[in-house]
């Protein structure tokens, strides 16, 4: 079982990969940038959070990615709603 766990990680040049996705270390500014890069793309066109999660998850991975994304997008929407 331990062997399977280790095989999920690999290295490509300067990137650390987890299951062939770019591992993003614990950096909330970087999380934010990645999420809104995909959320604001012409392909996504401000989709619901789970579609943005799908787009981000194709290439990136970090611990509790879905929890962070849901919290961040809901927080942003509530702040935008209040400011209008």
Task: For residue 34, give the CATH number of its domain.
Answer: 1.10.340
Number of domains in the chain: 1
> Could you tell me which of 18, 29, 2 has the C-alpha nearest to residue 63?
18
Question: Residue 43 has what pLDDT?
Answer: 64
Q: Give the sign of the dihedral formed by CA 34, CA 38, CA 41, CA 47.
A: negative
Q: Which two tokens stand for residue 2?
A: 């331990």
Structural domain range at position 52: 2-83
With 0.85 as the threshold, say if the pTM is over it.
no
- Helices vs strands, H then E, count in the chain: 4, 4
Strand partners, 61: 23
Question: Residue 61 has what pLDDT?
Answer: 94
List the chain pLDDT tens, one digit each, 84 residues.
Answer: 455 466 688 888 889 999 999 999 999 899 988 988 887 766 656 567 778 888 899 999 999 998 887 787 677 666 654 333
């Amino acid at each position: 079982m331990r062997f399977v766990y280790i095989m999920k990680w690999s290295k490509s040049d300067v990137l650390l990969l987890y299951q062939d996705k770019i591992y993003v270390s614990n950096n909330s500014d970087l999380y934010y940038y990645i999420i809104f890069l995909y959320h604001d793309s012409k392909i996504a066109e401000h989709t619901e959070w789970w579609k943005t999660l799908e787009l981000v998850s194709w290439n990136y991975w970090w611990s509790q990615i879905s929890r962070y994304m849901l919290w961040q997008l809901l927080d942003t929407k509530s702040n935008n709603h209040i400011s209008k």
